[in-house]
Amino acid sequence: MKKIIYIILILFISCKSQNKEFNTLGDKLISDENFVNSIESSCDKETNPNCELNKLTFNYQLKFKKDSIVYNNNNLRIEINKEEKVVYENGPKNTALKIITFNNNNLVDTLTIYHKIYLEEVVLEKKYYLNKKFELWILDFFIDDEGVFIKKWNKFKIDEKTGKISLLNELIKDKYHLDTKGIDNSNTLDTYINEYGLSKFKIRKDFDFDFNNDAILDKIIAFDYEDSFDCSPNAKGERPLLILKGLNNNKFELVKYSIEILPSFCSSGNAESDLDIYYKEGLFHFHSTYLNQSNEIYSRDYFFKNDLELEKIIFLKTRVGNQNKNEKKITQKDFSKKVSLLNFVFEESLQYE
């Protein structure tokens, strides 16, 4: 009799674990049309006590740790992944949550469902609500000095059989890019930083200059690796460079985005590496130094003129505790083609070292 009861108990526990109850996630108000429609009119300032956003009580930033499994039943598994990155040096952390679906342990789909991104003049936010029917609402809005503005509001559905995430309805289509007055602002500085820098990197340095002499300031932004990195084939310690041409009305045009201009952290294997960037007296100066396992110090200095053309490169090699130095200098004439920041490749330059 005890054996029968024990077997029944095991079967009950097993069945219960296979039909794990799915709890709703996020704040239900995100699915409420009246709530969403009242945000802009009530939130002339985020600090306004009558702002409808104050009704949201779900703590999106503290709810999850990385790779939290929120549903696992039959073939479908749903995970929430949390990412925290510092984009501007000494700035606040940008937080993002992604929902990831698996079918039979195979990755099916992924979608960002929450983020809070601090830019220079605006804070971008994305919040969500997921119910027991696997219906998912995502609300995008932004906050600036003039108030809170709805960017877009979408409803999705997660297929319980396949794990596929599908867009069901654009409840509010994208009304803005980043501008509070509805002006097409897709070419702003923040837009480019958001597109090229936020997902993987933080800003190391940025410079204002005029490389085409049109009296409008252009921009160079040097991104750097995050604190957690490795030198595996899929994570090469990239240090991208973003070059933007200044336009009227604080707009920009993409000139160059490259991961080849600046030396990768892993360009010397797992060596100790450092990179400094300066702009002085009309010259961009990239100073790269690394120490290898043989205590050899390699120093590489790249100088580019204000019009982005190469001025010179200085290679210096020495050893720890040794005063002797081997130095080599090359200029534009040593290259077979005209070299500028727009076509410069760090790895190719090493053949002249």
Q: Based on the domain organization, do 154 and 208 belong to the same domain? A: no
When pLDDT is cut at 50, 70 and 90, the band that residue 313 belongs to is very high
Q: What is the pLDDT of residues 152-195, one digit of tens each?
A: 899 999 998 888 888 899 899 876 644 333 334 457 777 777 77
Q: Rounded mean pLDDT of 73-96?
A: 75
Considering the domain architecture, whether residues 306 and 221 belong to the same structural domain is answered as yes
Same-domain pairing of 161 and 283: no
Is the distance from CB of 156 to CB of 171 less than 8 angstroms? no
Local confidence band at 3 (pLDDT 50, 70, 90 cut-offs): very low
Whether the model clears a pTM of 0.85, i.e. scores above it, the answer is no
47 and 101 in a single domain? The answer is yes
Residue 11 lies in a domain: no
Greater pLDDT, 152 or 264: 152
Q: Are 77 and 202 contained in the same domain?
A: no
Give the pLDDT score at 39. Answer: 92
Instruction: Identify whether residues 127 and 194 lie together within a single domain.
Output: no
**152/283 same-domain check:** no
> Is residue 267 very low, low, confident or very high in pLDDT (cuts 50, 70, 90)?
low
Domain-ending residue, one of 118, 138, 172: 172
pLDDT digits (tens, 9 = 90+) for 31-73: 999 999 999 889 876 567 888 988 998 887 666 666 678 888 8
pLDDT band at 265 (very low <50, low <70, confident <90, very high): low
Within a domain: 10: no
- Same domain, residue pair 196 and 159: no
Q: What does the block give as tokens for 87? A: 């984009």
Choice between 10 and 312, residue whose per-residue pLDDT is larger: 312
State yes or no: pLDDT of 126 exceeds 50: yes
- Whether 178 is covered by a domain: the verdict is no
Residue 249 lies in a domain: yes
Of 141, 172, 203, the residue at which a domain comes to its end is 172
Q: Is residue 179 part of a domain?
A: no
> 313 is in which domain, residue-wise?
189-352
Q: Quick one: 232 and 331 in the same domain?
A: yes
Give which of 112, 132, 154 is closest to 25, Cα–Cα: 132
* pLDDT exceeds 60 at position 93: yes
Last residue of a domain, one of 105, 138, 172: 172
Same domain, 291 and 153: no
165 lies in the same domain as 206: no
In a domain, 182, yes or no: no
Supply the pLDDT for residue 346: 79
Q: Can you give the pLDDT at residue 175?
A: 64
Sheet strands (E) in the chain = 25-26, 68-73, 76-86, 93-103, 106-118, 123-130, 135-144, 147-158, 165-172, 202-209, 218-224, 241-246, 252-258, 272-280, 283-291, 296-305, 310-319, 326-331
Residues 86 and 206 in one domain: no
pLDDT of 334: 86
Q: Is 49 a member of any domain?
A: yes
Q: What is residue 136's predicted lDDT score, i.e. its pLDDT?
A: 94
Q: How many domains does the chain have?
A: 2
> Average pLDDT, stretch 81-90?
66
The reply to whether 5 falls in a domain is: no
